[in-house]
Homo-oligomer: A and B are copies of this chain.
């Protein structure tokens, strides 16, 4: 079987996000991932690197952690 695992990159760390992925599609501002059992996950990320022979997809979040809102002076 040629499914792959997706990892999310946060700085220098990579965490397993989803296993046994079959389908990858762009979806709005992120990706839709579907595993071999038909389960779907949506993630606001883009593909940073993919090596099919290693069954490995590395994702990079497109959304940065929320920053504090700037104070607006009126």
Write the residues of chain A forming the contact surface with B, with a CB cutoff of 8 angstroms. Answer: 1-4, 21-26, 36, 46-53, 55
Expressed in whole angstroms, the minimum distance between the Cβ of A69 and any Cβ of chain B is 31
User: What chain B residues lie within 8 Å of A47 (beta carbons)?
Assistant: 24, 26, 47
Partner of A24, one of B2, B3, B23, B50: B50
Closest to A21 in B: B52
B52 touches A52 (CB 8 A): yes
Extra 17 A-B pairs, beta carbons < 8 Å, given A2-B55, A25-B48, A36-B53: A1-B53, A2-B2, A2-B4, A2-B52, A3-B52, A4-B52, A21-B52, A22-B52, A22-B53, A23-B50, A24-B49, A24-B50, A24-B52, A25-B49, A25-B50, A26-B48, A52-B52
